[in-house]
């Protein structure tokens, strides 16, 4: 890279936020360089060829929907096709575990209870998030519920132990962490953004995916940009002055810019040395981190399984939510989630088999794979679901520029926080803010 290179804007991170910001800024005519620690673009999305024999799979973020307006606008722009996850679109059986006991019933018998339990948890969403892309529109109401975790809300409901287990299992899967660690506002947000319809929540967050993978979308955005993307180039330090910003890589190279966009996951901010130091609020956010840390495994199974189905168990299971992705000639391809990614090796056939048997009894795991996002140094977690209190204390502060340094990433979105849509939203915001600063036109 050398020590004498310069550009208008350096973007740290080549996920959807960074790549979107790079397209927008470069199309305005700015000289943009994107620095990415990984050897690929995509961030916490990763469409991997032959992840299992004969199957190219999404190891990270996957699902999109027309209720996610920023993502769907890009899907329309680049004319991409969608396919469905059949365990969500047309399940035949619902399998549940409560008190250590397994039960399977036709989905149509369980669906009303599932919908009712989910809605009980988010019953006040309209009063709190009437305008879900403006999360502080009813700030007083937001502050009251933001003190609560999802588990606090479940515990406050008049439910049987079996119903509490079911509600806990469903929302644990949504939160990618135990329900006590996830703020209730995160659940309210998903419901509000899905049109205050619990069935739409399932469709919006887990039914539709890109036919050719998330890679097809992010590559289309990258190809629409003139920005330079440098892979395998993790950043060590960001030092700003009145004259500009110097970005230093771990290799010791430097790049000078007028402005920087940090488009990385919140849980990775601490790996970068900022000078001057970031605000106290941002340091608090870095110290606390966001709680998403679960597992996602793709599992090829054989056995006497219903076709297709979904299964749910409470958070004390390392695999607590499973859906059929495809019915195969010799079994099924399953997507399995759990709350503690560091404790489940998604590539360990024996461990995954033992966990699945707690939900289904005997079955044969042919192959399994996944990625440990919680231990990945460039993510340090899965999708963002703020802790109790973090939305009101930190969200607006995390979004604020500090001098010449701006911030983006799906963790910092007003709307679909933690999703591809939120990443694109924040990338557009970063472009708007930097262009306003450069042009001197705050509008």
Say whether 269 counts as a known binding-site residue. no
184-193 and 161-175 helices cross at what angle (nearest 10)? Answer: 80
Cα 356 from Cα 323, distance rounded (Å): 12
Sheet holding 101-106, edge to edge: 101-106, 93-98, 309-312, 321-328, 331-338, 295-302, 364-370
Say whether 337 counts as a known binding-site residue. yes
Task: Give the H or E element holding residue 57.
Answer: strand 55-58
Q: Which of 400, 411, 410, 378 lies closest to 16, judged by CA?
A: 410
Three-class SS state of 430: helix
Asked if residue 365 lies in contact with residue 353, where contact means CB atoms within 8 angstroms, the answer is yes
Cα 234 from Cα 211, distance rounded (Å): 31
User: In 224-302, where does DSSP find H-type helix?
Assistant: 280-288
Structure tokens at 357: 């048997």
Q: What is the CA radius of gyration of the chain?
A: 22
DSSP per-residue letters across 358-419: HHHSS-EEEEEEE--TTT-TTTSSSS--PPTTHIIIIIHHHHS-BTTEEE-SGGG-SSSTTS
Cα 128 from Cα 379, distance rounded (Å): 30
Cα 395 from Cα 196, distance rounded (Å): 22
Three-class SS state of 63: strand
Q: How far is the CA of 188 from the CAs of 122, 138, 299, 319, in angstroms?
A: 5, 13, 31, 24
The set of residues, in sequence order, having a beta carbon less than 8 Å from that of 15 and lying 6+ positions away, is 41, 42, 43, 44, 45, 218, 263, 264, 409, 410, 423
Burial class (CB in 10 A: 0-12, 13-18, 19+), 78: middle
Q: Which of 153, 205, 262, 157 lies closest to 418, judged by CA?
A: 205
Buried b (16+ CB within 10 A) or exposed e, 196-218: bebebbbbbbbbbbbeebbbebb
Binding residues for substrate: 337
Q: Which residues are annotated as a binding site?
A: 235, 337
Which residues are known binding-site members for FAD?
A: 235
């Amino acid at each position: 890279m050398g020590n004498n290179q310069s550009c208008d804007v350096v973007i740290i991170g080549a996920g959807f936020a960074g790549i979107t910001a790079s397209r927008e800024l470069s199309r305005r005519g700015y000289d943009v360089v994107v620095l990415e620690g990984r050897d690929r673009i995509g961030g916490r999305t990763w469409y991997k060829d032959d992840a299992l024999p004969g199957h190219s799979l999404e190891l990270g973020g996957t699902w999109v929907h027309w209720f996610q307006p920023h993502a769907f606008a890009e899907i329309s722009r680049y004319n991409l096709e969608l396919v469905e996850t059949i365990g969500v679109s047309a399940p035949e059986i619902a399998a549940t575990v409560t008190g250590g006991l397994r039960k399977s019933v036709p989905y149509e018998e369980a669906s009303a209870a599932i919908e009712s339990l989910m809605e009980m948890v988010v019953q006040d969403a309209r009063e709190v998030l009437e305008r879900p892309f403006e999360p502080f529109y009813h700030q007083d109401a937001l502050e009251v519920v933001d003190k609560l975790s999802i588990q606090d809300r479940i515990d406050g409901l008049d439910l049987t132990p079996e119903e509490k287990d079911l509600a806990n299992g469903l929302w644990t899967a949504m939160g990618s962490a135990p329900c006590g660690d996830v703020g209730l506002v995160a659940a309210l947000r998903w419901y509000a953004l899905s049109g205050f319809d619990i069935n739409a929540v399932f469709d919006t967050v887990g039914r539709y995916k890109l036919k050719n993978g998330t890679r097809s979308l992010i590559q289309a955005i990258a190809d629409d940009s003139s920005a330079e993307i440098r892979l395998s180039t993790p950043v060590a330090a960001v030092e700003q002055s009145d004259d500009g910003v110097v970005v230093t890589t771990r290799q010791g190279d430097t790049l000078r810019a007028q402005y920087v966009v940090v488009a990385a996951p919140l849980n990775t901010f601490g790996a970068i040395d900022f000078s001057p130091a970031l605000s106290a609020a941002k340091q608090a956010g870095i110290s606390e981190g966001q709680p998403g840390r679960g597992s996602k495994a793709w599992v090829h199974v054989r056995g006497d399984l219903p076709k297709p189905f979904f299964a749910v168990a409470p958070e004390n299971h390392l695999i607590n939510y499973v859906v059929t992705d495809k019915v195969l000639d010799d079994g099924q391809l399953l997507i399995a989630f759990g709350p503690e990614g560091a404790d489940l090796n998604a590539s360990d056939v024996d461990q995954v088999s033992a966990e699945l048997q707690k939900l289904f009894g005997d079955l044969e795991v042919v192959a399994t794979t996944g990625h440990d996002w919680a231990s990945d140094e460039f993510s340090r977690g899965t999708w963002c679901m703020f802790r109790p209190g973090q939305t009101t204390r930190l969200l607006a502060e995390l979004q604020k520029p500090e001098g010449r340094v701006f911030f983006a990433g799906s963790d910092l979105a007003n709307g679909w926080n933690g999703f591809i849509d939120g990443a694109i939203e924040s990338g557009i915001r970063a472009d708007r803010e930097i262009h306003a600063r450069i042009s001197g036109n705050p509008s």
